[in-house]
Amino acid sequence: MSYEKSVELYNEACDLIVGGVNSPSRSFKGVGGGTPVFMKEGRGAHLFDEDNNRYIDYLGAYGPIITGHGHPHIAEAINEAARTGTLLGTPTKWENVFSKKLKDAVPSLEKVRFVNSGTEAVMTTIRVARAYTGKHKIIKFEGCYHGHSDLVLVAAGSGPSTLGSPDSAGVTPNIAAEVITVPFNDIDSFREAIDRWGDETAAVLIEPIVGNFGLVEPEPGYLEEIKKLTHESDSLLIFDEVITAFRFTYGAAQNMLQVEPDMTAMGKIIGGGLPIGAYGGRVDVMEQVAPLGPAYQAGTMSGNPASMRAGIACLEVLEKDGVYDTLDRLGERLETGLLEQAEKYSIPVTINRLKGMFTIYFTDETVKDYKGAERSNSERFSIFFKEMLDRGVHLAPSKYEAWFLTTEHSNEDIEDTLEASDQAFAALSSYI
Ligand code: PMP
């Protein structure tokens, strides 16, 4: 495959845009460097780059694209908004229609607010929890990503009873001292943290099903225990469902897991491919938000008709019968095929999958926390990634990401992918 135009565009971009990309995850740093591919167009389950190479896409734009690229029903909604005003600066009925739709699907959202990104949604839930509880600290979980606001760019301390340290330049030690980070799926560490810091903890912030060190599900009873201990210390439980909402079922992960948080942050899929974030939860908690309450949050673009209408249209596609069963079936076929091939070429892998989302870890150990995901062999992943790309299969350039299926992937796409992966594993085995 030739990437000539991508190379040209990337060189130009490096002169214009810091690092040549508008989000660091798009660089190929995670796979040992190289030129990110410049895509020209997305159609259904496929992407086409500037050199006219075609790819089967499993990046799904890092999660939002569950109905494929350029879905006609969503395109129509966006066109309609473009014709009638993408931003009016006043309330519109679309905000009501969409809130109702979300609330019907996720009952814990007694009241909601729309914002413009997952980052904003999570950031605000923390402010609201502080306003509600009068406490300041948060407890979060190692390897989970919650956007790029200062508060969540904090790394773990040396143990559950120690405070965090900045995970990015520019985050002050004072901010880091408000955050405690503990390993996921380790209830003893959480118990230790909440025993030590519960009196000062406003909120416990967790991805109920992790999507940021690959896909990792909570162990049975884990979230229930977290919720119980959180409430015993008069703190609030916040679920970050930015990746998980509408990914596995028509609703949020909390519906499947049957654990309701006090507040939920969402984003990605609910925007139908346009920028969006939303947060919501218990009415007494949400009434802390301005103009009703003392916690301030605003946004020029928030609740704009284009994002609302794209989001509504996306949920209309997803609420049809059988959508998630189809995603599950396609995911299962891929999982089985990849595992068979890995065995055939004696390459140890572990796959964590739920419905149409999965991660392939290059390790034979079970992955249930961030340390487990770290053990996935980076070099092997990088080789596999590049071999797949050269065969027209587009994955995220990081061993910590997932494959995202869409409603537009066909059986043929899956079989073509497995043909490519067979060759990619064969190539990889020649390096080992
Ligand atoms: N929370 C989670 C769980 C996420 O995965 C992400 C983005 N990957 C965010 C928050 C931040 O969302 P955004 O990129 O829309 O700001």
Residue pLDDT, tens place only, 25-39: 999 999 999 999 999
Mean pLDDT, residues 1-8: 96
Nearest to 207 by CA among 402, 409, 407, 406: 402
Residue pair 102/278 in contact by the 8 Å Cβ criterion = yes
Tens digits of per-residue pLDDT, 344-375?
Answer: 999 999 999 999 999 999 999 999 999 999 99
Given this model, what pLDDT does residue 432 score? 82
Mean pLDDT, residues 204-208: 98
Ligand 1 atom at shortest distance from the alpha carbon of 207: 3
Given this model, what pLDDT does residue 117 score? 98
User: Which pair of tokens denotes residue 113?
Assistant: 């607010």
Strands 403-404 and 357-361: antiparallel
The Å distance, Cα 26 to ligand 1 centre, comes to: 14
Tens digits of per-residue pLDDT, 251-298?
Answer: 999 999 999 999 999 999 999 999 999 999 999 999 999 999 999 999
Residue pair 279/266 in contact by the 8 Å Cβ criterion = yes
228 among known catalytic residues = no
Ligand 1 atom at shortest distance from the alpha carbon of 244: 3
The Å distance, Cα 139 to ligand 1 centre, comes to: 18
Q: Which one from 10, 55, 58, 145 is the annotated catalytic residue?
A: 145
Given this model, what pLDDT does residue 157 score? 84
pLDDT category, 156, cuts 50, 70, 90? confident
Given this model, what pLDDT does residue 264 score? 99
User: Which pair of tokens denotes residue 103?
Assistant: 């609330």
Mean pLDDT for the chain? 97
Does position 161 have pLDDT exceeding 90, yes or no? no
Mean pLDDT, residues 174-186: 96
Q: Which residue has the tokens 């990088």?
A: 382
Question: Which of 21, 25, 114, 119 for mutating ligand 1's site (highest number of atoms within 8 Å of CB)?
Answer: 119
Mean pLDDT, residues 98-120: 98
Phi, psi (degrees; rounded to nearest 5) at 301: -90, -5
Given this model, what pLDDT does residue 159 score? 87
Mean pLDDT, residues 57-61: 98
Question: Which of 21, 59, 146 for mutating ligand 1's site (highest number of atoms within 8 Å of CB)?
Answer: 146
57 among known catalytic residues = no
The Å distance, Cα 84 to ligand 1 centre, comes to: 30
Ligand 1 neighbours by CB, cut-off 6 Å: 62, 117-119, 122, 145-147, 207, 211-212, 240, 242-243, 267
Given this model, what pLDDT does residue 178 score? 96
Ligand 1 atom at shortest distance from the alpha carbon of 275: 15
CA distance 70 to 45: 10
Given this model, what pLDDT does residue 394 score? 98
Given this model, what pLDDT does residue 427 score? 97
Given this model, what pLDDT does residue 375 score? 97
Ligand 1 atom at shortest distance from the alpha carbon of 267: 15
Residue identifier of the C-alpha nearest atom 10 of ligand 1: 146
Question: Which of 268, 269, 279 for mutating ligand 1's site (highest number of atoms within 8 Å of CB)?
Answer: 268
Given this model, what pLDDT does residue 158 score? 84
Kindly provide the residue ranges of all beta strands, DSSP E only, lying in 210-293, ordered along the sequence: 236-240, 263-267, 277-281
Sign of the CA dihedral running 99, 103, 106, 110: positive
Query: CB under 8 Å, gap of 24 or more: what pairs does 220-229 form?
Result: 222/185, 222/187, 223/257, 223/259, 224/259, 225/187, 225/190, 226/187, 226/190, 227/259, 227/261, 229/190, 229/191, 229/194, 229/198
Tens digits of per-residue pLDDT, 383-401?
Answer: 999 999 999 999 999 999 9
Q: Which residue has the tokens 């995850």?
A: 25
Q: Which one from 111, 135, 268, 355 is the annotated catalytic residue?
A: 268
DSSP string, 274-285: S--EEEEE-HHH
Mean pLDDT, residues 41-59: 98
CA distance 329 to 115: 34
The Å distance, Cα 311 to ligand 1 centre, comes to: 17
Nearest to 380 by CA among 358, 401, 363, 404: 363
103 among known catalytic residues = no
Of 166-170, 200-204, 240-244, which range is least confident? 166-170
Given this model, what pLDDT does residue 313 score? 98
Given this model, what pLDDT does residue 196 score? 97
CA distance 318 to 250: 7
The Å distance, Cα 147 to ligand 1 centre, comes to: 5
CA distance 55 to 49: 8
